[in-house]
Amino acid sequence: MSEQQKPDSKGALLPEALPFFWAALDFTSTTQRLVVRAVVILFKQTGDAPILKQNKVKVDGQEKFAKLVEFLRKKLGREQVFVYLKEAFSPSLDERISVLFDAFGVDGRLVVNYALTPAWG
């Protein structure tokens, strides 16, 4: 074992000084996945859509955008809901929430507009 490495709790060797990009890695798992962070979602109604009683939720950043759409469908009791970011476009349902937050998050939250009829773009 060299001076620059030390064993972790499972006996694996880790560098003494981790590079910056390694700081987000979870070394307790054998797959070394990224640590999952929660993302705050703020729902804003548009047009004639009803206002949600609970308009702010915290979700796992690794979840797909489809989970938010399904949440809105259940809360609104509608099969069809139009969902937008930046009051302009609808992201892909397969997009990860953390990626959308990194690109379009404002003030520590991701603002999601919803409507019952097409509103933008």
Give pLDDT tens digits along the chain (121 positions).
Answer: 444 544 445 544 444 444 444 444 444 444 444 555 899 999 999 999 999 999 999 999 999 999 999 999 999 999 999 999 988 889 999 999 999 999 999 999 999 999 999 987 5
Whole-model pTM: value is 0.69
Q: At what angle do helices 65-76 and 97-104 cross, to 10 degrees?
A: 100
pLDDT of residue 19: 46
**So what's the pLDDT on residue 87?**
85
pLDDT value for 46? 94
pLDDT for res 35 = 53
pLDDT of residue 121: 59
Listed in sequence order, the DSSP H helices in 29-85 are 65-76
CA distance 52 to 15: 49
